[in-house]
Structure formats: structure tokens, C-alpha cells
Structure 1
Amino acid sequence: MSKGTKSWRLMDLKYGVRSGTNQILSDASKASGGEETGLNPHELLEGSLAACTAMTMQMYANRKEWPLKNANVIVKILEEGKQSVLERTIELIGDLSKEQKDRLIEIADKCPIHKILTGQVTIHTKSV
């Protein structure tokens, strides 16, 4: 489970985002009035799924001692709303058999962020 992630306003639409000792910058797109000095919230979501997918496949390959050198993952939000659609493209780099590649693609769906996004989500909001 997550220890929680905090965001705070730096200026205009620019926000700091921190979890533990790690910190990044988020900013809105120029079209939305931001300066594009950091990842926008949609890009953070896409990046979360992309990174989680790659890490999950790499951990599995490491356990199996498979020669996965890299997993390049691109996630794009194609539609958002009541039925959102994300597209995930995976490039596996390494001397892998077809069976190993097929298995790693199956493992991609086991990443925790994928499970959250495809499961039933409830968000509890509280004011402090």
C-alpha cells in the first residue's frame, strides 16, 4: 500500500508532488493555462501505468532469469469519461523466445496500477 502522495501549489497551475522523500513537478498544458514545466495530471497517470507495467515485467523476467534488457512502454489516454480508453504499447528488448514474450505480455496485466485502473474504484474525499 501507498504511504500517500501530497501535492501543493507552487505558483499558478504548477504543483509539487511528493511521496516520502521523492518529489516531482506537475504543471498544466499551455492550452490549459500552464507553462508545461512538468508532467500534467494525464501524463502522470499514463506514466504511472507505463512504469508499473515495465517494472512488473522486469521483476518477473529477473525471477525467471530471462534476458529482458528493457521494456519500453507507451500509454496514451484515447478517451476519457464514463468509459475511458487507454492504449498501451509494449516493446520488449532482449533475446527472448516467442513464449517468453507472450508470457511477459500476460504479466503486464498483473501490474498493481493496471489492477487499480481496471477494477472498481471508490474515492473517499475528506476535508481537513
Structure 2
Amino acid sequence: MSIDTVRAIGSNTPYAVALSDDLGHAWTGDEPESLGGANTGPSPSRLILSGLAACTVVTVQMYAARKQWPLAGIEVEVQWNPNGKPDDGSTEMQRRIRLIGELSSEQRERLLQIANACPMHKALTGTIRVPTELQD
């Protein structure tokens, strides 16, 4: 079993970051022009939002398929501090889920519970530790 790993390498372009993972995927992160970046890729906050949105979609799809429920599609939108930065210094992520298909109200409610149990949601709402060390 591999450990999910992402590597970020800075470039000569201010704030642009080359990202890669242990499975061979590659993508770019950057800041928008309004913050001095070149907008060549999603900002760090958008990368976090994309992880939550993708995890929500996959988790709900897997559960509905296993139950053989008529989920024809799912759309998830997540926003970072949609009402501005909270006064207490916390971060708010507003998630909106659209379930497509002939689902009963009970099935819809259960899929909402499943969305809240996706691994990224659990990680983001639980305790996160980030031990950090400098390397030579």
C-alpha cells in the first residue's frame, strides 16, 4: 500500500508551482494575477476545494452504485469563505450538492450523510497535524 504523496517544486515564475504525485500525475498550482501570480493553475485554496468536491462525488457515486440507487449524476460546488473570513480566524467551506436522478427523499438524505463521511470531509473537519522538517 502506497502513501499518498504530492511533491511541489517552485519555478522561476513567481508563485507558480509544479505539482506531481506518487502515481505519476502532474499539474500546476499558482496564485491569481491579483495576488502577483500568473494564474497558470488553481490557487492552493482551490486545490483543497477540488479535493473535497472530487471526494464527495466519488464517495456518493460509489455508495449509490453499491445500493443500486438511481443516481444519474452528481454535481458538487465548494466555496472558500463565501461570506468573507470569519472573525474567529477559522475557515469556512460551503458545499452544495446536486443529486440527479429519481431518488426518494430518504435516499437523498442518506446520500447527504454519506457525503459528510467522505474521507476528505472527515480529514478537513477533524484534527489535522502537519509535522514539518527542513531537509538538506
TM-score by length of structure 2 reads 0.88
Matched, 1:16 2:23: no
2:26 aligned partner, one-letter code? Q
5+ residue gaps, structure 1, are: none
Structural RMSD (CA):
1.5
1:118 and 2:91 aligned:
no
Structure 2: runs of 5+ lacking an equivalent:
none
Deviations 1:73-102 (A, max 9, x none): 011111367321110000001121111111
Query: How high is the sequence identity, in percent, across the aligned residues?
Result: 35
Q: Check the 8 A contact 2:14/2:38 in 1, yes or no.
A: no
- Aligned pairs for 1:1-128 (under 5 A) are 2-10=3-11, 11-19=13-21, 20-78=23-81, 79=85, 82-128=89-135
1:58 and 1:23 mapped to 2: Cα distance?
Answer: 25
TM superposition score normalised by structure 1: 0.93
Distance 1:115 1:15 in 2: 27
SS at 1:68 equivalent: coil
Give the count of matched residue pairs.
128
